[in-house]
Structure 1
Amino acid sequence: MLKLDEFKELVKDFSGVADFLMVYIAEAHSSDGWAFSNNYDINQHKGLEDRLSAARILVQEDPLCPVVVDEMSNCSAMKYGALPDRLYVLQGGKVVYKGAMGPWGYNPLEVRAFLEKMK
């Protein structure tokens, strides 16, 4: 959630021309796995209730858009290559922007530039 504020600015600035959605997937930096010292205390999800509970933490940060949860089979994450995180823009049911894999490739400012061109 390092760049959540940048994402929220996108939602604020482009909600008139785009719909935004977050898909909560498997926890990339779980407390019982490869954790960062400044990360939330979230263990790897053992079941859907664990994933829902973790997603509620994200919702408390008020992302300004709906948050949905990937299935435990990680169908969405696998289809979109989203682990640990990734930004996409879809138009007419087709991917028109595919950001690089996070965390280093997670770049809301790049999405901003892309959306500016679409206005």
Structure 2
Amino acid sequence: MKEVYNFVQQHRNMLNIVIVYTKEEHASDEWSLPNNYDIATHRVLKDRLKASEIFKNEFSYWFETSTNGFVTHLLMDNMSDEMAVDFNSTPDRLFLVDNTNMKIVYRSIAGPFGALKTKPLIPILQKLR
């Protein structure tokens, strides 16, 4: 996440940031990881909202508009996990959308390994200028 944050800081005048919180990939009642948060599978929207607040607190630097110079929007997937399924976005994935036509111009590999690399975005942003 820090690499993406630094990239956004560098190119903030060209980017609108949206983070979509989807299902909990390593839920404590399913496939938990050591040293992970104790977040169970979201059963109702209130569970997902609570988990997204934990995310927002953990990565609060993304949401400190006065210090980071950009606005980050945090959205949540619905309880049918449509976003996670349609975009194969779990556990994490990076997308770049051209805001002139709302088309995806970059889609990283599905995470967790290598999904949040920003180097491939540089030539794409240069073309969009």
Measured against the shorter chain, the TM-score band is: 0.7 to 0.9
The match for 1:33 is: 30
Q: Which string of whole-angstrom CA distances, capped at 9 and with x for unpartnered residues, describes residues 16-59 of structure 1?
A: 10111100000001111111112111111011000000000111
| TM norm structure 1 | 0.86
CA contact (8 A) 2:97 2:105 kept: yes
CA distance, structure 1, for counterparts of residue 30 and residue 119 of structure 2 = 30
Could you list the runs of 5+ residues in structure 1 that have no partner in the other structure?
Answer: none
The match for 2:84 is: 77
Query: Which consecutive aligned stretches of 4+ in structure 1 deviate over 4 angstroms post-superposition?
Result: none
> Which of 102, 105, 109 is 1:93 aligned to?
102
1:103 CA displacement: 0.5
Letter in 2 for 1:96: V
CA contact (8 A) 1:10 1:108 kept: no
1:116 CA displacement: 5.1
- Determine what percentage of the aligned residue pairs are the same residue: 30
Could you list the runs of 5+ residues in structure 2 that have no partner in the other structure?
Answer: 64-71
In the alignment of these two chains, the number of paired residues is 116
